[in-house]
Amino acid sequence: AQKVTQAQTEISVVEKEDVTLDCVYETRDTTYYLFWYKQPPSGELVFLIRRNSFDEQNEISGRYSWNFQKSTSSFNFTITASQVVDSAVYFCALSEANNAGNNRKLIWGLGTSLAVNP
Amino acid sequence: ETGVTQTPRHLVMGMTNKKSLKCEQHLGHNAMYWYKQSAKKPLELMFVYSLEERVENNSVPSRFSPECPNSSHLFLHLHTLQPEDSALYLCASSQSGLAGRNNEQFFGPGTRLTVL
């Protein structure tokens, strides 16, 4: 069965600290996608990144970076030099394949609530 | 308007009321979704519509009734709800629902529903 685990329920850091949010997943599919979403206090989930299971290259986007390790089934997210505006709940998700082999249904982690304090 | 919009943003209703949640997407997507988000639980997928056809219904009680009149609009009709139905209801859309391998979902801000 597919499963996404975000072991950190809440993290609190001081501005400018680096912080890593962990995501561990389980799947029997060989082809899958991994996602990170951000949910600020306003409520909407904001798409951050999608990663294909065949692409293990790490990705950097400004202060955000993602470390995909297939060997440990992890897809961790690091924010460098955190800012107060980074305060939000962050969700990791896994895209499940349906019987036709198309990825559609998202399996969600419980989220990590990040508080960045000034 | 851009992206995905939802109205109302907040709704308080009694158990005997009938109300509807509305979602509209301005992204030209073909698939739309309803999710329920409760505290300390993973997001629960309720319904998926692809090209206006319901393609997924995850054992949702019949007191929730979706409607998708066209690919840009999605409704969730509510009647005789229970207090445990209080949650944030999120709408999302994606380019494709059935044949997508890169199906980023774009979310609206949600409707915070409280059932008294």
Residue B109 and residue A110: Cβ atoms within 8 Å? no
Residue-wise pLDDT tens digits, A75-91 = 999 999 999 999 999 99
Instruction: Using the Cα atoms of residue B59, residue B49, residue A4 and residue A95 in order, give the sign of their dihedral.
Output: positive
Q: Which among B38, B59, B56, B39 has a CA at the least distance from the CA of B47?
A: B56
Question: Strand A10-14 vs strand A112-117: parallel, antiparallel, or unpaired?
Answer: parallel
- Asked if B10 reaches chain A (Cβ–Cβ under 8 Å), the answer is no
pLDDT of B98 reads: 47
- Asked if B109 reaches chain A (Cβ–Cβ under 8 Å), the answer is yes
pLDDT of A104 reads: 63
Residue-wise pLDDT tens digits, B57-76 = 778 999 999 999 998 999 99
Q: Which residue on chain A is closest to B108 by alpha carbon?
A: A44
Residues of chain B with pLDDT under 70: 1, 97-102
- Asked if B107 reaches chain A (Cβ–Cβ under 8 Å), the answer is yes
User: Percentage of chain A surpassing pLDDT 70?
Assistant: 93
pLDDT of A19 reads: 98
- Asked if B5 reaches chain A (Cβ–Cβ under 8 Å), the answer is no
Residue A44 and residue B108: Cβ atoms within 8 Å? yes
Residue-wise pLDDT tens digits, A6-46 = 999 999 999 999 999 999 999 988 888 899 999 998 888 99
Q: Which carries the bigger pLDDT value, residue B32 or residue A105?
A: B32
Bridge partners of residue A52, in order along the sequence:
A33
pLDDT of A2 reads: 85
User: What is the DSSP secondary structure assignment for residue B3, as one 8-state letter?
Assistant: S
Q: Which of B42, B101, B108 sits opposite A103 (nearest CB)?
A: B101
> B52-86 burial string, b = 16+ CB within 10 Å, else e?
beeebeeebeeebebebeebbebbbebeebeeebb
Q: Which two tokens stand for residue B16?
A: 């005997």
- Which residues in chain A have their CB less than 8 angstroms from residue B88's CB? 43
Mean pLDDT of chain B: 88
pLDDT of B101 reads: 56
